[in-house]
Structure 1
Amino acid sequence: MVAKVAPVPEGKLPGHESKLTPKPEWEPKYPGSGRLAGKVALITGADSGIGRAVAALFAREGANVAIAYLSEHDDAEETARIVEEEGSKAIFLSGDLGDPKFCEQVVAKTIKAFGQLDILVNNAGEQHPDQEIEDISDEQLQRTFQTNIFSMFYLVRAARPHLKKGAAIINCTSVVNYKGSEELLDYSSSKGAITAFTRSLSANLIEHGIRVNAVAPGPIWTPLNPCGGASKEKMKTFGKNTPMKRPGQPNEVAPSFLFLACDDASYMSGQVLHPNGGTIVNG
């Protein structure tokens, strides 16, 4: 018999975008063309970073957006304002996505607010740098997997009854799934699980007309790394080891999510896109 384990409390991550300098670039680069008109998207971690850029772009393309986030209320309110400025509707839902009950509530409140759910973006994540495997506590290991992969199971399980033919699920994995990271052992492992989950869930749902894909960003300028997700030493050269010699911006990643969410990707499932600054990976 497997013991039931309560979620481990969060630390200070992922951090506030409102306090970050310079500010990440989230603004969509092009006018919308109605590719998500009439759709409803639930986006986790949409208060800041990649999630905010995805919410802004989805809203510009016509989708109403449910914003699920941990506790950065000022950031979430700003994302909701951005969505509404694009002419779409937004709700924001605060809580621990490592808790299956909260995931059920997020889906239920999205359905109550909008009456449907067409796109699920599993973007929320956390990471904690450690030099040695002995430094990774049981609590940290469990916390990382709760947020990064367990939450995806919980949300898909809760959303599944509401996802109809033509729906899309997009998971956020990472370049470190493919090339590894010496100081992110638990995070990299959880991202590998996400890729396997994406491919397996695609096979499971494809006969129902539901597409499942993933995006594997490289180093992107979001609150996660500078607010404690990377060591101070790593932050000195953050993104400079990519072929493009710089970190990416959230609005350089969001179009990958849009492509996988809309009918442009109607013949794609079980795949991973790689906005990573030119790093070649097998994927």
Structure 2
Amino acid sequence: MGAVLVTGGSGQVGGAIARLALGREIVAPRRDALDLTDPAALAAMVESREWAAVVNCAAYTAVDRAESDVVAAWTINALAPAALAAATARKGIPLIQLSTDYVFDGTKSGAYTETDPIAPIGVYGASKEGGEQAVRTANPAHVILRTAWVVSATGSNFVKTMLRLAADRDELRVVADQHGCPTGADDIARAVLTILDRIDDPAAFGTYHLVNQGEATWADLAEAVFARAAAHGGKAPRVGRIATKDYPTPAARPANSRLDTAKLRRQFGIVPRDWRVMIDEIVDQLMEKTA
């Protein structure tokens, strides 16, 4: 396979793809090297060489800030994918677009499948839905990957926040009535690399859900983080389980973010590992850095 352009190279997933893509040529410009708010710049980057594929990992992910920063959220999450989809379509280049569980309203009782109706409840989810629609309508040669609750040993995420807060607190109050699938950036990256091997097969095009196996609440996730940290001699605060209403935020969160990955397994043979194994790996990496 030829060179692959990965946007969002400074993010959790983009960085993981670049790091794990052994033997592949990955060009992953950081945010300061590629202006995501400039459609012409995005088109020029696509036009700059004969890419084998483009992977759009760039996103405006500040869910709460998006409620008051609507234009920026829509520019990066919807208009940038539109520009990339149009440019890649002109050159016949497949596009992989990362999306989110936030395109759903969270009212379903079970795990969401790819055919469930989308109904975002906030600006972030709506803007990501806009990005999905832009990619679908502009470039038929696309793979949209919806993921959720992304964590890693790099960047800003829930795991790192919990470990930082644990340092000086005996108890942390964590939401226990939102259910989802914690997902590792490295796991997403490995799946993307597997999909890239099949990206020229029209049968592979479409929308898929990509999350680690199993489900959790944010409180469950915090407890798993602290349990693993304790194994390294780290501090393990008590987790006080609270309701969403007790932790108000500008943006509403889906109560149910669980995603069904059966389609991904059938099409690509990708079997996600259990989220607890993924969390242990991340905490091990972070604790070793501070040892």
TM-score interval, normalised by the smaller of the two chains: 0.5 to 0.7
Structure 2 partner of 1:88: none
SS of residue in 2 equivalent to 1:252? helix
Deviation of the 1:160 alpha carbon = 3.2
Structure 1 residues without counterparts, runs of 5 or longer: 1-37, 72-93, 206-210, 227-231
Question: In the aligned structure 2, how far is the partner of 1:130 from the partner of 1:160?
Answer: 33
* 1:1-283 matched pairs, under 5 angstroms: 38-57=1-20, 59-60=21-22, 62-71=23-32, 94-109=33-48, 111=49, 116-130=50-64, 136-137=67-68, 140-163=69-92, 167-179=93-105, 185-201=122-138, 205=140, 211-222=141-152, 223-225=155-157, 237=174, 241-242=178-179, 247-263=182-198, 266=201, 267-275=203-211, 277-278=213-214, 279-280=258-259
Counterpart position of 1:7: none
1:239: how far off?
Answer: 10
Structure 1 residue 65: Cα displacement = 1.5
**Residues 118 and 225 of structure 1, relative CA distance in 2, 3 Å threshold:** same
1:239-258 CA deviation, whole Å, 9 max, x = no partner?
995466xx322111113212
Following superposition, the deviation at residue 64 of structure 1 comes to 1.2
* Dislocated runs of 4+, deviation >4 Å: 235-244
DSSP 3-state at the match of 1:271: strand
User: Aligned AA for 1:47?
Assistant: S
Which TM-score applies when normalising by structure 2? 0.56
Please give the root-mean-square deviation of Cα atoms over the aligned residues, in Å: 3.6
User: Which structure's CA Rg is the greater one?
Assistant: 2
Indicate how the Cα distance of structure 1 residues 237 and 256 shifts in structure 2: closer, same or farther if over 3 A, else same. Answer: farther
Contact kept, 8 Å, 1:117 with 1:162, in 2: the verdict is no
Give the match's secondary structure for 1:263. Answer: coil
- Which amino acid is the alignment partner of residue 99 of structure 1? D
Deviations 1:111-167 (A, max 9, x none): 1xxxx1111111100133439xxx933xx101001111111111232333433xxx4
Change in 2 beyond 3 A, CA 1:157/1:70: same
TM-score by length of 1: 0.57
